[in-house]
Amino acid sequence: MKKIFFLTFIVIAIPSLLIILLDKEIVKKIKFGIYSNKTIKVKRLEKNEIQNVPIEEYVIGVVAGEMPASFDVEALKAQAVASRTYALKHSNVNNKDYDVVDSTTNQVYLDYDDMKKKWQGNYEENLEKVKKAVLETKGEVILYNNDLIDALFFSTSNGYTENSNDVFSGNEPYLRSVDSHWDKAESPVFNSTNKVSKKEFLFNLGLDTNSEINIQNINKTNTGRVKDLTINGKTFESSKIRTAFNLKSTSFTIKIEGENVIFNVNGFGHGVGMSQYGANGMSKEGFSYDKILKHYYKDCEIKKLI
């Protein structure tokens, strides 16, 4: 009886194991579902409605909304794979009736009417270019240990990307600080300046507007972004300063000149994950989209879902 059971196990188990070993895509199909049927539930804020958008059509809309169509196609491909990964990672996990919103809260998504308004006379040309980038990466996602990553991205670094734990609560091993020197030459918003009066500065931070300004204990990350600082005895997170004065990033210096406070800022965005202008700079130097993604998302692999 034991012999019969053992032979039966061999007959059933061995072919199954061989199939899994020979076709690892089966594992991903089991894990992530049938990809071709996937839709993303998008909350359209202006229209105040939820739309079910096929995944690849959604990715077209996000690439159109998040990255200039003038960018090199390899950068657009990198954006497509990152945006597809982000959408799938965030789908069916928030216990709401939608997966993502169509704004920077998640990813900016444009439908075809939005694209026509944005691109006007360049609509057909830009749409064809974006569709090409999405089609040529269809179904491709970024995995770390066979799990979808949180594929964060932003506009422009200060020369380096940031460790996730220095900006957000999570400490993801694939969101590590890397060189992104391309941004300085590529991005029109690498440098920016904000100037406010002393009184406005103090008022926006809820401090006594009649007091002098005393800035101390400026704590920075290894990449030069401000983590927190003390102003007139009160400690502020850098995100609070960025919001209060509409700064493009937390990589800033503060200088007092006469009756004004001047912020000199480097970069645009939170700094974690893929720099979009950095990706374009890499593309111009001949890097393919997969090399771009593996530079910004450490120790990850790109796989195609079926």
pLDDT in tens, 57-99: 999 999 999 999 999 999 999 999 999 999 999 986 767 889 9
Q: How far is CA 126 from CA 69, 82, 277, in A?
A: 6, 19, 18
Q: What pLDDT score was predicted for residue 35?
A: 72
* Helix pair 123-135, 55-66: axis angle to 10 deg: 120
Q: Please check whether residue 228 is in contact with residue 236, taking contact to mean a CB–CB distance below 8 angstroms.
A: yes
Other C-beta atoms lying within 10 Å of the C-beta of residue 73: 15
> What is the pLDDT at residue 7?
47
Q: Which residues of 26-53 are buried (b: 16+ CB within 10 A; e: fewer)?
A: eebeeebeebeebebbbbbeeeeeebeb
Residue whose token pair is 């071709």: 36
Flag residues of the chain having pLDDT under 50: 2, 5-23, 26-27, 30
Q: Are 66 and 107 in contact (CB under 8 A)?
A: yes
**Burial profile 131-148: b = 16 or more Cβ within 10 angstroms, e = fewer:** bebbeebbbbbbbbeeeb
The pLDDT score that the predictor gives to residue 33 is 59
CA distance 64 to 36: 21
* Burial label, 116 (beta-carbon count in 10 A; 0-12, 13-18, 19+): middle
CA distances from 141 to 49, 85, 169 (A): 28, 5, 24
Write down the pLDDT at residue 91.
87
From start to end of the chain, where are the E strands?
39-44, 49-54, 100-101, 140-144, 147-148, 153-154, 191-197, 215-220, 226-231, 234-237, 252-257, 260-266, 274-275, 301-304
